[in-house]
Amino acid sequence: MYKFKFLLVAGLIVLNTAVAKSQQNLCIENRFLKVEVNTLGAELQSIKSMKSGTEYLWQGDEEYWGGKAPVMFPVNVKFKDAHFCYKGKEYQMPDMGLAKISTFKMTDIRKGEVTLVLESNHATLEKYPFSFRLQITYRVKGKKLINEFVVENTGNEMMYFALGGHPGFRFPIEGKSERGKNGFVFDKNYTIKRTEIAGGLVQNNEIPFLNNENSFAFNDERIPNAGMFLKNMPSRKISIGTIGGPAYITVDLKDFPNVNMWTPPGMPFACIEPMIGHHDLQNTALEIDKKEYLTALPAGKKKNYSFGIVVNE
């Protein structure tokens, strides 16, 4: 994980790293939700109820996990050994990719909507040899936060990428954190297997996951330290809430076919991660153009994706 130190200067938060980058929190809201997003990584910082002031987004704690909601691009979680090859040249790719460590430009903001853009540059081309434009729009509509992504290939050759969200959520919203009383809730009963993840990589085997169930608690013995990955997840809406009670957060996967769920034993947060693509494979090709799970985007083309986060008060 990346560890940063922060300084408060004239009301702005400044990232103190070897190469200092200024960052800024941007706020959008409607009568139900107040949302903050940072220009560093276009990462969500807060999802609050306007009525109660309740914070739903995990606020980051290095003792557990310092992230909040990183955007994963052009890799989901990691490439094997943090590198890949293209046309005979080797490139190093940080965990979760380039968006997380890049400063986005805010191109539009209004009361309930903000758009941020990252374009390829000298720094990105050193780690990822493709010209691109990544546009991210956050929009509040009722009690829903819509996350929209436009990936554009601005180069003159085929581009290969994965895309994902990694929002973490607090639980419980009130009271002491009791994992046995909280859990994931699905839209109906399922009997499905999940793909095993080890060392941040997709393994070759599947593990029983749900057995005619629509929920399981965070203290369930089936929950591993690693993620729980489901390809082509049949449940398009996954919630977090009290077992047998109401759900207070629902993630609508929409255009994202895959999902990873991560809540290591003993942790006071849970992540629901919509994915286009997935983690790299245990037995993977080193060449990026041979990683068949990546999206291949022709020169001059773009793709649009979205998922939603619903606050259920």
pLDDT in 10s for each residue of the chain, 313 residues: 333 333 333 333 333 333 334 689 999 999 999 999 999 999 999 999 999 999 999 999 999 999 999 999 999 999 999 999 999 999 999 999 999 999 999 999 998 999 999 999 999 999 999 999 999 999 999 999 999 999 999 999 999 999 999 999 998 777 666 788 899 999 999 999 999 999 999 999 999 999 999 999 999 999 999 999 999 999 999 999 988 888 999 999 999 999 999 999 989 999 999 999 999 999 999 999 999 999 999 999 999 999 999 999 8
Q: Do 20 and 152 belong together in one domain?
A: yes
In a domain, 303, yes or no: yes
In a domain, 291, yes or no: no
Please state the domain count of the chain: 2
Q: Do 126 and 179 belong together in one domain?
A: no
**Per-residue pLDDT at 27:** 97
Q: Do 180 and 152 belong together in one domain?
A: no
Q: Do 140 and 187 belong together in one domain?
A: no
Q: Do 138 and 174 belong together in one domain?
A: no
In a domain, 174, yes or no: yes
pTM for the model: 0.91
Counting every residue, how long is the chain?
A: 313
In a domain, 243, yes or no: yes
Tell me the C-alpha distance between 185 and 292, whole Å.
Answer: 31
Pair 197, 228: CB distance under 8 Å = yes
Look at the alpha carbons of 281, 286, 292, 293 in this order and tell me if their dihedral is positive or negative. positive
Tell me the C-alpha distance between 207 and 193, whole Å.
Answer: 5
Q: Do 206 and 112 belong together in one domain?
A: no
Q: How many helices (H) and strands (E) does the chain have?
A: 1, 25
**If you ran DSSP here, which 8-state letter would residue 73 be given?**
B
Residue 273 region, left (φ>0) first, then alpha (ψ -120 to 50), else beta? beta
Q: Do 152 and 175 belong together in one domain?
A: no
Q: Do 193 and 101 belong together in one domain?
A: no
User: Half-sphere exposure of residue 69, counting CA atoms within 13 Å on the CB side?
Assistant: 26
In a domain, 180, yes or no: yes
Q: Do 258 and 204 belong together in one domain?
A: yes
In a domain, 82, yes or no: yes
**Per-residue pLDDT at 171:** 86
Q: Do 208 and 232 belong together in one domain?
A: yes
Pair 273, 164: CB distance under 8 Å = yes
pLDDT in tens, 124-166: 999 999 999 999 999 999 999 999 999 999 999 999 999 999 9
Pairing of strands 201-217, 182-198: antiparallel
User: Residue 264 corresponds to which tokens in the numbers above?
Assistant: 């290591």
Q: Which domain holds residue 183?
A: 170-276
**Per-residue pLDDT at 175:** 62
In a domain, 67, yes or no: no
In a domain, 192, yes or no: yes
